[in-house]
Amino acid sequence: MSGTECPECGAGISQREGVDVGEIIACPDCGTKLEVKSLQPFAIDKAPSVEEDWGE
């Protein structure tokens, strides 16, 4: 398993078994929501904010 760093706090994050590209995971240290961008090599980035459209 490979790993990378949280873009928010720099904590090491290991690739978890069963995780797919596009899934949202949380940093175990700071709790930031992260999106899995790639599996080979393992890469993550801050997850996009979901905004409410309030029916517009």
For the chain, the average pLDDT equals 89
CA atoms of 25 and 47, how far apart (whole Å): 9
Per-residue pLDDT, 16? 87
CB-based contact 33:24 (threshold 8 Å): yes
Low-confidence ranges of the chain (pLDDT < 50): none
CA atoms of 37 and 47, how far apart (whole Å): 10
CATH of the domain spanning 3-46: 2.20.28.160
CA atoms of 48 and 50, how far apart (whole Å): 6
Domains of the chain, by residue range, sit at: 3-46
CA atoms of 23 and 8, how far apart (whole Å): 18
The pTM (predicted TM-score) of the whole model is: 0.80
